Amino acid sequence: MAFGFFVIVSGERPYSSVERFDGCRVLTTFKHFYWLPVIPRHSFVRSETPSGVREIAIGIHWVSVLATCARIWGTIWLSACVIALLAGARSFVLGTTIWLDLVALCAVVLWGFVLAGRISPTSAAQRRVYARLTGAPVDVGRYSPAQAHDLREDLLPALVDGARPYRFDYRSAVDARLAWREIALHDEVRDRDYLEAALTRARLETPWSPRGVERRAMATAHERIWRKLSGSKAACPVCACPTP
């Protein structure tokens, strides 16, 4: 955009790659003014594989947003603080000593560049499981409603067919389409393919479950299915109570 000889540079572009893992990373597109991020618009996962680049839209990823602010605006404020310090100022941002401002801004920038969006080893291993069913090591809990619907349909055959070899007595007879969580937590169920599908479904459903007891129960089921997959203490049969 130009007014006479004055040019205004604005537009949209992605910033702040976080959660780097196995060729995937999360970015957030911002409305920018002179390349300075101003308004977050949307976030997406970029997956780079030998077959090409795939972008998966997700909701606003607030860690990516905060990382952008810390990396860019934090660096600008840190530079201004250093200039103020060299100019002899005694305070800058917090209204206290300028050295405290300097330490605080250094901590913010360090967090943005080094710590923001780091993935734990457990989360990395879980995303590798999701990738075997989705094609990319993406946290399926961040899927949009349309993506979540499609993945539910894709997982359904594995959850229904995978339950057929198991024989439960009449008291624990269940509909495999609806009771996949209870089936996955049963002591008899050890098939890795079934447990991986159930783990992925549990993570997918956690953000969409009603807040409170149901969401906690889904998160607990995800954790306990993961313990079964990773060879930890087995979960107790059928019920949703934590293993002692």
| pLDDT of the chain, 244 residues: tens digit per residue | 544 556 778 899 999 889 888 888 999 999 999 899 999 999 998 888 777 888 888 888 999 999 999 999 999 999 999 999 898 887 777 677 888 989 999 999 999 999 998 889 999 999 999 999 988 888 999 888 888 999 999 999 999 888 877 665 544 556 778 889 888 988 888 889 999 999 999 999 999 888 889 899 999 999 999 999 987 444 343 333 333 3
Task: List the structure tokens of 124.
Answer: 């990395």
Three-state secondary-structure class, residue 18: strand
| In a shared domain, residues 87 and 133 | no
Let me know if residue 235 belongs to a domain.
no
| In a shared domain, residues 225 and 127 | yes
Let me know if residue 151 belongs to a domain.
yes
Let me know if residue 44 belongs to a domain.
yes
Rounded CA gap, 131 and 181, in Å? 20
Let me know if residue 102 belongs to a domain.
yes
Let me know if residue 240 belongs to a domain.
no
Rounded CA gap, 71 and 56, in Å? 24
Q: Which domain holds residue 101?
A: 9-115
- What size, in residues, is the chain? 244
Let me know if residue 40 belongs to a domain.
yes
pLDDT at residue 173, rounded to an integer: 55
Among 115, 145, 177, the domain boundary falls at 115
Among 115, 149, 182, the domain boundary falls at 115
